[in-house]
Amino acid sequence: MTTIEAVSAYLPPTVVPIEEIGERLAMDPKQVRTFRRFYGLSEVRYEPEGDLAQLMLNAAGKLTSLIGRESQVRYVLQARTLQTVAPYPENPLHEVRQALGLEHAVTFAVTQHACASGLLAVHLAGELLAADGDPDALALVFAGEKAFTPTAQLIPNTTFMGEGSAAVLVGTGSGHDRLLGYATRTYGQFNAGLRMTAERAAEFETIYQDGLAEVVLAAVQRAGVDLADVHLILPHNVNRLSWVRLCKQLGYPVDRVLLDNIAVTGHCFCADSFINYQTALELERLAPGDRYLMVAVGLGATFSAMVFEH
């Protein structure tokens, strides 16, 4: 059974108001005000002096459960939204593997689900560990990227991107957060991502809520529980408005969606659910036995949800 053994999250200290980003991207000030007033976005975190390898190492440095267990790590995965994150032949993930003393681990990136690749990476790590059959073996999953280009800093009419990161230790043993159900669906007609035509983008907006609701309910069903049994939802931090609408559609209390980070982190690529997990622990919003949902959507377009028991 796939388990999350530990999660660490790193938020860079540099705070950038969305108005500053909007000015840099030549956005209409009225649109920026809409992001703040209606979408609930206020600022993001950037790491101007650090590259992607340092972003991952900052998250790993807070993962105390990894210390002394490096030899047990069989896989190192990087969950990525962007296919290209560094100029060839640089490979930040291999730099991180070496810095952490994990040269023995099989190391690769997962990008196929865009911002939902974080959940895919956890699922894949669990499947690989289960196939190996060693109950003590571990996988280390990284999520979070650099917003290093204009197109990586903004999803039009949706959200601003931040540079928070997370490191996730995945295992198959008992006594940790157990994965109960995973559901994912890709709508391939939207595979142009940010390059979609206006007509296709409007179609994506039309199916977005239904697509998200579908995978949430599918994950809950596969977990063998009811949605009412889910204590907390750890969302992708695109904006507050979309979650209010989804909760209304599902009849789920919006105060049981952890929306605290949307205003202060923005959307941190694949790392949102894991950053929110760390926040939930700090706020004591999860108790042993609680079921919770991690939810993510990746442009392309992939909708994913995972149910865990804490």
Count of beta carbons in the 10 Å neighbourhood of residue 154: 22
> What distance separates the 2 farthest-apart alpha carbons in the chain?
56
Q: Domain of residue 165: give its range.
A: 3-171
Type and span of the H or E element at 263: helix 262-265
Shared-domain flag, residues 226 and 90: no
Q: Given 171, 193, 210, which residue is the final one in a domain?
A: 171
Closest to 230 in 3D by CA, of 260, 261, 258, 256: 256
How many other CB atoms are found less than 10 A from the CB of residue 284?
7
Question: Is the same domain home to 196 and 291?
Answer: yes
Would you say how long the chain is, in residues? 310
Q: What distance in Å separates the CA atoms of residue 47 and residue 30, rounded to the nearest whole number?
A: 27
Domain shared by 182 and 64, yes or no: no
- 77 and 54 in a common domain: yes
pTM assigned to the model: 0.96
Last residue of a domain, one of 150, 171, 192: 171
Q: How far apart are CA 227 and CA 16, in angstroms?
A: 36
pLDDT tens for each residue of the chain, 310 residues long: 999 999 999 999 999 999 999 999 999 999 999 999 999 999 999 999 899 999 999 999 999 999 999 999 999 999 999 988 888 888 999 999 999 999 999 999 999 999 999 999 999 999 999 999 999 999 999 999 999 889 899 999 899 999 999 999 999 988 789 999 999 999 988 887 667 788 888 888 899 999 999 999 999 999 999 999 999 999 999 999 999 999 999 999 999 999 999 999 999 999 999 999 999 999 999 999 999 999 999 998 999 999 999 9
Domain final residue, candidates 111, 138, 171: 171
CA atoms within 13 A on the CB side of 219: 31
Whether 29 and 156 map to the same domain: the answer is yes
Residues 112 and 237 occupy one common structural domain? no
Is the same domain home to 64 and 30?
yes
Within 10 Å of residue 94's Cβ, how many Cβ atoms? 14
Instruction: Count structural domains, the chain.
Output: 2
3-state secondary structure of 230: strand
> Where residue 63 sits, what CATH number does that domain have?
3.40.47.10
